[in-house]
Chain A
Amino acid sequence: MLLSHSVYATQALSAMLSEQRRAELRDLLLQDCGSCHGMTLKGGLGPALTPEALKDKPREFIELTIREGRSGTPMPPWKGILSQDEIRWLVDTLYTGIKQ
């Protein structure tokens, strides 16, 4: 069975993130991303990041936004803080939703 490249790659890479790191990233998502996007990810200074809000946005667009930021807005680049694997895992989590 052929898996699409990005899904296969993500599943393989997700396995590389330790349980502790994933817990830290979950925290980062709610508390630090949440600084602007709301602790419930329902939005604030920045737009909502719920599965509903993101369902039509392509993965590449979200990953790029996290990595590079969005110039002219307060969205900063996170590439100095998060690895590519971590960004991919965060995007997975955003699509499926986070339990609070």
Chain B
Amino acid sequence: MKIPVNTLFAIFLLVFLSGCHTLRGTGDMGVVIERATGSVQIIETTQQTKLNQVDGLGDLSHASIVFSRDERFAYVFGRDGGLTKIDLLTAKIDKRIIQSGNSIGGAISQDGKLVAVSNYTPGGVKVFDAETLQLVADIPALYGEDKQQSKVVGLVDAPGQKFVFSLYDAGEIWIADFSQGDAPDVTRFKGIGKQPYDGLITPDGRYYIAGLFGEDGLALLDLWHLEKGVKSILNDYGRGSKKMPVYKMPHLEGWAMTEDYAFLPAVGRNEVLVVDRRSWKQLASIPVHGQPVFVMARPDGRQVWVNFAFPRNDTVQVLDTETLQVAETLKPGKAVLHMEFTPRGEHVWISARDAGKVTVYDTESFKAITTMPMNKPSGIFFTSRAHRTGL
């Protein structure tokens, strides 16, 4: 059969064009913050390459990210109150607003429809429609008889379409329940401890834990039994050792849990605290290189990786969760700011701000697989966070 030339040409064109627009998934993608230049790098973890850069994100010092439930969009919370929705596939800003004067982090609701931001100025939480970034609710963190306004920290999402957060100046924990509609039902727990500096929610969404700066110990809230109130745990962990000057606050994330233990940073001490997840009693403390900032379990719970505060911030240590000993000490470069595991944990990505690079390590061999130059890299966030409560 003789095929006409124009038909052949049409077939050729079709094949050629379809090859130009390869479809890709976002499940192996991530975002790295470049904290000084208002830009982010969109990366992928399968080949470990940079895909795109997005600019114009304002003050990204201490920026953090949550992902839409379809892993298509990243919501970037900027220090200057910027909230930016980035399309990971087009590498463009989908929407951007300035929602406060000074902001420290955010969360996405259980159903993915609401994005909440925790603000220092004005102190409180604002909640936005995840699609349009329209304001849905404004919750000023007012406390005391004089109605002072507190900085808000430790904002997480919780089951039941809730957000849980702590008031740094007030020493309170609040729950904002959006299950009945856009006007939240707010429950306040007062006198939970001095200067809660951050909070985490356990991966099962049951326990909210606020770390305290103003006293030894942490505040524990069982979200399945609010009638029990907030319990003080580990309030004698500092006994017998002297507290050192704290040059950077530790950070609490749900990554800190394994099946049996919670691994928590001690404030002002070169220690990681090992806590029994059933009794919430301290079982051990592991002496480490410096004051921990991030304490993160590999997804399988076999290792915990720790980075440290200034001035000992060029080092990462790996703890074995069976022996509770330091298994390895690594030097990823000056000013290690953040770490992120691939979803099943074969690699970890580590940012070193002053060394201007992100290094990918094999978590079994501890070998550096690749390094990527970046401009003052800080937070690293992978799309798999989209399906984890508290992240």
Enumerate chain A interface residues (CB-CB to B < 8 A).
27, 31-32, 34-36, 38-40, 42-45, 69, 72, 74, 76-78, 80-81
Contacts and interface: CB of A to CB of B under 8 A. Distances in A.
B292 to A, nearest CB: 15
B59 A44 contact: no
B79 A44 contact: yes
B57 to A, nearest CB: 13
Interface SS, A side: loop
A55 to B, nearest CB: 20
A76 B61 contact: no
B197 to A, nearest CB: 8
14 contacts: A32-B247, A35-B249, A36-B249, A38-B59, A39-B35, A43-B120, A45-B151, A45-B168, A45-B197, A74-B246, A74-B249, A76-B245, A80-B245, A81-B311
Contacts of B120: 43-45
Contacts of B246: 74, 76
Contacts of A43: 102, 120-121
Closest 4 CB pairs of A and B: A39-B61, A76-B245, A32-B310, A35-B248
Interface centre among B104, B151, B247, B311, by most chain A C-beta atoms within 10 angstroms, is B247
Contacts of A44: 62, 79, 102, 104, 120
Contacts of B104: 44
A83 to B, nearest CB: 14
A80 B246 CA distance: 12
B198 to A, nearest CB: 11
B287 interface: no
Interface in B5-33: none
A35 B36 contact: no
B195 interface: yes
Nearest to A35: B248
Given A76-B247, A77-B245, A31 B353 contact: yes
